[in-house]
Amino acid sequence: MDNLRIAVSGSSGLIGRALCERLVASGHAVSSVQRVSQSDSAATSGGAISWDPARGLLDPQQLSGTDCMIHLAGRSIASARWTPSEKQRIRDSRVRATRLLVDQICQLDLPPKTFISASATGIYGEHGAEEVDEATPRGHDFLADVASDWEDACLPLVQRGVRVIHPRFGMVLSRDGGGLAKMLPLFRWMLGGRVGSGKQYWSWVALPDVVSAIAWMMVETSAEGAYNVVAPQPMTNAEFTKTLAQQLGVPAILPAPIWGLRLTLGEMADALLLTSCLVVPRRLLDAGFKFRYPQLGPFLATEL
């Protein structure tokens, strides 16, 4: 593979750090598109490009001639209770920030050839036990609306001739951050168990497969549009928590009651823990992408 010039926003995050590490190790020149207020960025090889999405500041010339921009930035959806102002921050950090990037890139004579912009399986909303793939219509709750507008913010780039790809990530699993890292202490103290009825589907994916899928999208020039980035074997929450407990060698005896979750987390409990969505990575599988960790047990055995 040729060495590419790549810019990554959100490079200090869970996915960004692992991705930059892999890209730098592969010999690519990687620049981090870094918020001016932040100094905690991933190890990159091509320097830093400053932006201030909250104040609408970015110098697009620094992105001119880039082979690929990978846009992962967005305020964590699980860092605070979803008050109206927190929901606005979650939305603005994705939709407004993406519009800024896209508007600026559209003005370049040499825009990035490829633009990979993070999205989420939350775009589908609640689907019970019905199988969901990329052809499934978008949902209509808070997260679905945010993800939908986030993806649509990239449409001017498509019109500009840039190859645009939206990896729709499921729950990304890593011991270093995200949902799994939050669950681990509870399970280790034997306070973990199924969430609510446990019948809701959780569409998970191992972090190494997320990194590989993004790297594949970068070089597979026929890839464009939305791709579900989830393991090919989604599980109910009860199966997930049972597998996690088995791998840790602890019992999963304490189910978290729905009323308690709603009391503690508010609306976030329904959106992140109780919503059911059985997502399949149809387009990745059809394209021949091979998951290193299609099953949860073997991934947890190496990760924990």
Ligand X SMILES: NC(=O)c1ccc[n+]([C@@H]2O[C@H](COP(=O)([O-])OP(=O)(O)OC[C@H]3O[C@@H](n4cnc5c(N)ncnc54)[C@H](OP(=O)(O)O)[C@@H]3O)[C@@H](O)[C@H]2O)c1
211 sits near ligand X (criterion: CB under 6 A): no
11 sits near ligand X (criterion: CB under 6 A): yes
Touching ligand X, residues 31-70 (CB under 6 A): 34-35, 38, 41, 53
Tell me the per-residue interface mask from 104 to 123 with ligand X, x by CB under 6 A, - otherwise: --------------x-x---
Q: Nearest distance from residue 77's CB to ligand X, in Å? A: 6
SS3 80: coil
Per DSSP, the residues of 91-124 read HIIIIIHHHHHHHHHHT-SS--SEEEE-EEGGGG
Q: Nearest distance from residue 188's CB to ligand X, in Å? A: 21
**With contact defined as beta carbons under 8 Å apart, do 150 and 119 qualify?**
yes
Q: Among 6, 15, 95, 278, indicate the residue that binds ligand X (CB under 6 A).
A: 15
75 sits near ligand X (criterion: CB under 6 A): yes
Query: Between β-strands 235-236 and 201-202, what pairing exists: parallel, antiparallel or unpaired?
Result: antiparallel
102 sits near ligand X (criterion: CB under 6 A): no
Does an H or E element contain 6, and which?
strand 5-9
Surface-to-core class of residue 34, CB atoms within 10 Å of its CB (0-12 exposed, 13-18 middle, 19+ buried):
buried
**With contact defined as beta carbons under 8 Å apart, do 71 and 98 qualify?**
yes
8 HSE (CA, 13 A, CB side): 33
Span between the terminal Cα atoms of the chain, in Å: 32
User: Nearer Cβ to ligand X, position 4 or 171?
Assistant: 171
User: Nearer Cβ to ligand X, position 120 or 221?
Assistant: 120
Stretch that binds ligand X, among 4-12, 234-242, 260-268, 272-280 (CB under 6 A): 4-12
297 HSE (CA, 13 A, CB side): 5
Q: Nearest distance from residue 52's CB to ligand X, in Å? A: 9
**Alpha-carbon radius of gyration of the chain:** 19
Q: Among 7, 14, 95, 215, indicate the residue that binds ligand X (CB under 6 A).
A: 14
227 sits near ligand X (criterion: CB under 6 A): no
SS3 21: helix
Q: Among 28, 30, 68, 74, indicate the residue that binds ligand X (CB under 6 A).
A: 74
As a whole number of angstroms, the distance between CA 51 and CA 57 comes to 5
The residue count for binding ligand X (CB under 6 A) is 26
88 sits near ligand X (criterion: CB under 6 A): no
125 sits near ligand X (criterion: CB under 6 A): no
User: Nearer Cβ to ligand X, position 233 or 250?
Assistant: 233
Could you list the residues that contact ligand X (CB under 6 A)?
10-16, 34-35, 38, 41, 53, 72-76, 93, 97, 118, 120, 169, 171-172, 177-178
